[in-house]
Chains A and B, each alone.
Chain A
């Protein structure tokens, strides 16, 4: 499929429309029926509920977009169909950060108030701790994997797996030593879920800015991703500074992954499967795949989050990861069967 300007524009407009549609669906889904409130004219209550649901929808779309675009980048950069945003140990690092902050942070520091110019910004220091630990993990993994400034993908993956195993052990240690209630809390956090930041819109605003910066960088690098598919030496001969390109893209992808974990815990599956699904539908050209991943991830997670809202409370709170895998896997298998086996890495 050739990527024409027309196809590009139409695809993205359709994606945006679907995202808007799905978000509207998310705003309508919830345990409180808005109709009686509407009839009684209780606008203030309606506004609060809409505000509450919007926060969930925005969080879900930010997290979904980050995970999917980060997964697409990882799969292209490491030329490995099993690559996903958490392959470098980011989820373990960020989770450990959040859990340790949950355990040991003094009460006064749980919410931070900063000022950016005249605007007060409220951040949860739990999210911040998760993000900082993600940064630290990225630095650690790259420091271990690099040789004279060069990063070899296989060493990188291996390092990531090992670092992740270490964090997993540390998390197990912490939860083994915690009380029952706290252990539940930790386990539930590790399942990943779209909470709300208790009206902390400024935190979401900061996250939005970061996500958009990341997406912009990826869009600028889309041609590089395409060249990487031909292999390292071919890409070099076609004028790509492979090392620089790979390092920058890996760091940005890891940052997006860390951001998503600090917002919603480690939500699995989205970052692995959504890029694959989109590649089957839209082809491997990253100039289209990157923006489509942004929309696709957002749509997918908002939809999963909204479907969760219909489940009656007696069943209990289900982590959104359950829905993403339960709905996504059959869909993925269907697509894989129909596409005649041409599934796999970005380069095939």
Chain B
């Protein structure tokens, strides 16, 4: 009996200790999570009130737009219409000049209150979710959800944006510029493969396109791997860059490692943009393939890790992406430095934006 008070006391102390532990864990997780998308959320947190209440941006008569689709946001900025943007999505991280805009949602959710305050004329979503469209039209906001999956889609969206934003000349100029850039990539690829008949390359490879696999890394090193298949934007760029995809499936598909290895790619490109939130070195990504020693890409050490987020993003940087792929396909092994000077230049902004991604 006389032990009771002691027991209660220790029990209380123990309970308190547990509670404190729990709170610490929660606090730690919250702060960790915040630091995770810190660079993205901080500017909006500060700029939110000012931007929402005094939309200094629009001039009279200009269409005010908000976009949660990163590639469309990027296109609007590239057209020179960034001044018409009043809100962006959580994953719209490029170019830097739009980072100060308030975040109005992401792929899944929209912040209705912010949208009501901002009152954009036009909202660009990635899916034309019927309920969202109806909701927004109740607020007097027009919603479009353009398809953005091929190179051709990009031109069509540019055209559409020109009409919607009332800036057809700017749209036409951007489209012309992009066409010229892509044509330049194609031309230089052809010129290079003509050069390659010279002693530098093995003669057998020169006439045929390089057999390439583009994969996305799996964080836990699983038995399956997500790869780029046919009928995708990345596949189009790959063919522009002079490669041929070893995968015959359509879309971005999950395949077993053994099936992929059996396709015998000559080059493996691992697309690891910064938005994974995980640090892995190139070596670690490459190590996932080390068991398939007689796959040509593994044998010849031609597994390249590309961290530029624009590689898979249909948008104004698609010519950069095509050029990046073309330059990568010409690298003899992963130990060699990127070939052209411009590659290093283009890599720099990509890396920067990769860090900014949540």
Contacts and interface: CB of A to CB of B under 8 A. Distances in A.
Do A and B come together as binding partners? yes
20 contacts: A30-B259, A32-B262, A44-B294, A48-B291, A51-B291, A53-B258, A107-B281, A144-B18, A170-B26, A174-B33, A179-B37, A179-B358, A180-B91, A196-B222, A196-B223, A199-B290, A199-B291, A313-B249, A313-B256, A314-B249
Given A110-B280, A179-B277, A199-B290, A173 B257 contact: no
B268 to A, nearest CB: 15
Contact of B294 (A30, A31, A45, A51): A45
Nearest to A106: B279
B163 interface: no
Contacts of B25: 170
Contacts of B254: 313, 316-317
Give the most central of B29, B259, B275, B290: most A CB within 10 Å: B29
A104 to B, nearest CB: 7
Interface in B2-52: 18, 22, 25-26, 29-30, 32-34, 36-37
Interface string B258-293: 110110000000000001111111001001101111
A189 interface: yes
B139 interface: no
Given A177-B30, A179-B277, A179-B358, 7 more contacts: A32-B258, A48-B292, A51-B291, A56-B223, A126-B220, A178-B277, A195-B222
B174 to A, nearest CB: 28
B228 to A, nearest CB: 14
Interface string B101-114: 00000110000000
B246 to A, nearest CB: 14
B275 A181 contact: yes
B224 interface: yes
Contacts of A185: 219-220
A195 B220 contact: yes
Interface string A182-216: 10010001000111111100000000000000000
Contacts of A30: 256, 258-259
Interface in A99-154: 102-104, 106-108, 110-111, 124, 126, 144
B357 interface: yes
B38 to A, nearest CB: 11
Contacts of B22: 166
A98 B277 CA distance: 15
A178 B36 contact: yes
Give the most central of A111, A126, A199: most B CB within 10 Å: A199
A177 B277 CA distance: 11
Interface of A: 30-32, 37, 44-45, 48-49, 51-53, 56, 98, 102-104, 106-108, 110-111, 124, 126, 144, 166, 170, 173-174, 176-182, 185, 189, 193-199, 309, 313-314, 316-317
B140 interface: no
Contact of A31 (B18, B26, B259, B290): B259
A178 to B, nearest CB: 6
A45 B284 contact: no
Contact of A180 (B32, B107, B284): B107
Contacts of A104: 32
Given A102-B219, A178-B277, A313-B259, A198 B291 contact: yes
B357 A179 contact: yes
Interface of B: 18, 22, 25-26, 29-30, 32-34, 36-37, 91, 106-107, 219-224, 249, 253-259, 261-262, 275-281, 284, 287-288, 290-294, 357-358
A181 B29 contact: no
Contacts of B224: 195, 317
Contacts of B281: 107-108
Give the most central of A102, A185, A189: most B CB within 10 Å: A185
Give the most central of B220, B278, B284: most A CB within 10 Å: B220
Contact of B221 (A176, A179, A198): A198
Give the most central of A48, A174, A178: most B CB within 10 Å: A48
Contacts of B223: 52, 56, 194-196
Contact of B278 (A56, A102, A176): A102
A181 B292 contact: no
A279 to B, nearest CB: 32
Contacts of A31: 255-256, 258-259
Contact of B257 (A52, A177, A178, A193): A52
A48 B291 CA distance: 7
Contact of A189 (B18, B29, B220, B294): B220
Contacts of B287: 111, 198
A48 B249 contact: no
Contacts of B288: 198
Contact of A107 (B37, B253, B284): B284
A189 B290 CA distance: 23
A197 B338 CA distance: 31
